[in-house]
Amino acid sequence: MGTEIERKFLVTSEAWRADAGQGTRLRQGYLHTGTPVVRIRQAGELAFLTIKGPGLLARAEYEYPIPPEDAEAMLASLCPPPIIDKTRHRLTQDGLTWEIDEFAGHLAGLVLAEIELVSADQAFTRPGWLGAEVTDDPRYQNAALSRADGLPA
Amino acid sequence: MGTEIERKFLVTSEAWRADAGQGTRLRQGYLHTGTPVVRIRQAGELAFLTIKGPGLLARAEYEYPIPPEDAEAMLASLCPPPIIDKTRHRLTQDGLTWEIDEFAGHLAGLVLAEIELVSADQAFTRPGWLGAEVTDDPRYQNAALSRADGLPA
C-alpha cells in the first residue's frame, strides 16, 4: 500500500515531445468506478489490477501484477466499454518525472501531464507546455474518462 | 481464469461435524457487490483478491494472492461493514468434497454447504444433513450476506 500525491494538468503545446521517450501503450478499464476504484491495466507486455481508495490528490493505492491474458479477458468481458487507450511518455526535469498521457480512441486529441510529489505543497518548475491544473476536476479522472463519450466539455 | 459450477444448500443437522476437520477461519468483504463481484478474503494466514463475473451456478472467476496486511487494511477501510466471518470445514464423501461454512458475527447460526461439480447435472449422493438447495436464491450469495443485517428471512 502507498499513498499517491499527484497533480494533473492539461498540456497546451507539442514542445514536450522533444524531450520525451517513445512511451508505453496502456489499455485500461474499470471493474468498478465508484469508491473504491478497481482498475485493470495492460502496460506493454505486463498487466496490473489496481485498487484506489477515495480522494483525488492523495489516496490509498494497492497494485498487483496479474497474468496479461486475464487482463485481456476482463477488459473484453467485465469492464464496461469504452476501454481507455493511451500512450504514456516519461520526461524528467529538475529531478522530477512528468508522465504525459496521449490518448487515442474515443479520447483522441486529449493530452494530460501528471507529476508525483512527496507533499501537496512541494514546489516545482512549470514547463513551458504546461496548461491549467485539473487535479481537482473529476471530469479528468481516468474512471470518469472511461465513462465519457469523448473529450470533456 | 476458471469457471465454477457450484451448488449451495442449507444444512439441517449437526451430523456433518463427526466427519469434518477443524476448518479454516475466513474473513471476507467486498470492494464491489454488483457485477463483477470484487472480494477480499483472509483465509487463515493467507489472503486473496477474487473477481467473479455474472451468474450464480457457473461464473468466470479470477483469484490472486495478496499480502495479508493489504487484505486487513482493505477489510478495515474500503469494504463496507459488516465483514463476513465464517469457518470453512471440508468433508469428502464418494470422492466429492463438500465445503461447509459455519457463520459467526451478524450471521451466527447460519450453516451452508457447497459442492463443486464438473457439470450442472452431475449426480451426487445427498448426505443426511443436507437441506434445501439455495443455489439460485440470491439471498444466500456471499455478497448479499455481506449486506444483510442478519439471517435471511
> Which CATH number belongs to the domain containing residue A140 in this structure?
2.40.320.10
Put simply, the answer to whether A64 touches B62 (Cβ < 8 Å) is no
Q: Quick one: pLDDT band at residue B57, thresholds 50, 70, 90? A: low
Any domain includes B58: yes
Measured in angstroms, the CA of A51 and the nearest CA of chain B are apart by: 9
- The domain containing residue A19 runs over which residues? 2-147
For residue B130, being part of any structural domain is answered with yes
Query: For B31, which of A1, A36, A73 is closest by C-beta distance?
Result: A36
Complex ipTM: 0.79
The grid cell for A80 is 464496461
pLDDT exceeds 70 at position A133: yes
- Set of chain B residues whose Cβ sits within 8 Å of the Cβ of A77: 53, 60
Quick one: pLDDT at residue A118?
86
Q: Is A71 a member of any domain?
A: yes
- Report yes or no on A153 lying in a domain: no
Average pLDDT, chain B: 90
Cβ neighbours of A66 in B, within 8 Å = 62, 64
Give domain status of residue A68, yes or no: yes
Q: Is residue A73 packed enough to be buried (19+ CB in 10 Å), middle (13-18) or exposed (0-12)?
A: middle
Whether residue B153 is contained in a domain is answered as: no
Query: CB-based contacts of B113: which residues, under 8 Å, 6+ apart?
Result: B8, B9, B10, B11, B16, B98, B99, B100, B101, B127, B129, B130
**Per residue in A72-81, pLDDT tens?**
999 999 999 9
Within-domain flag for A152:
no
Question: What distance in Å separates residue A15's CA from the closest CA in chain B?
Answer: 41
Hey, what's the cell of A77?
Answer: 468481458
| Chain mean position to CA A146 | 11
- Whether B1 sits inside 8 A of A70 (CB atoms) is yes
pLDDT score for B119: 84
The two most distant CA atoms of chain B are separated, in Å, by 43
The C-alpha cell at A27 is 489499455
User: Nine-digit cell at B96?
Assistant: 466429492
CA distance A84 to A142: 8
Question: Given this model, what pLDDT does residue B120 score?
Answer: 78
**Residues contacting residue A126 through CB under 8 Å, at least 6 positions apart:** none
In B, what residues contact A, Cβ < 8 A?
A: 1, 31-32, 34-36, 38, 49, 51, 53, 60, 62, 64, 66, 69-70, 73-74, 77-78
Answer whether residue A3 shows pLDDT above 90. no
Could you give phi then psi for residue A21, rounded to 5 degrees?
-80, -170
What's the whole-model pTM score? 0.82
Say how many domains are in chain A: 1
**Does residue B152 fall inside a structural domain?**
no
CA B9 to each of CA A41, B27, B134: distance values in angstroms, whole numbers, following the listed order: 37, 21, 5
- Measured in angstroms, the CA of A133 and the nearest CA of chain B are apart by 28
Reply yes or no on whether the pLDDT at B1 is more than 70: no
- Measured between beta carbons, the chain A residues lying within 8 angstroms of B38 are 31-32, 38
- DSSP state, residue B115: E
The residue ranges of DSSP E strands in B33-151, in sequence order, are 37-43, 46-52, 58-65, 84-93, 96-103, 111-116, 130-133
Closest alpha carbon to B135 in B151, B115, B118: B115
DSSP B52-74: E-S-SSEEEEEEEE--HHHHHHH
| Residue of B31, B66, B77 lying closest to A64 (CB–CB) | B66
Distance from CA of B51 to the nearest CA of A (A): 9
B109 backbone dihedrals φ, ψ, rounded to 5°: 105, -20
CA–CA gap between residue A27 and residue A24 (Å, rounded): 10
- More confidently predicted of B113 and B118: B113
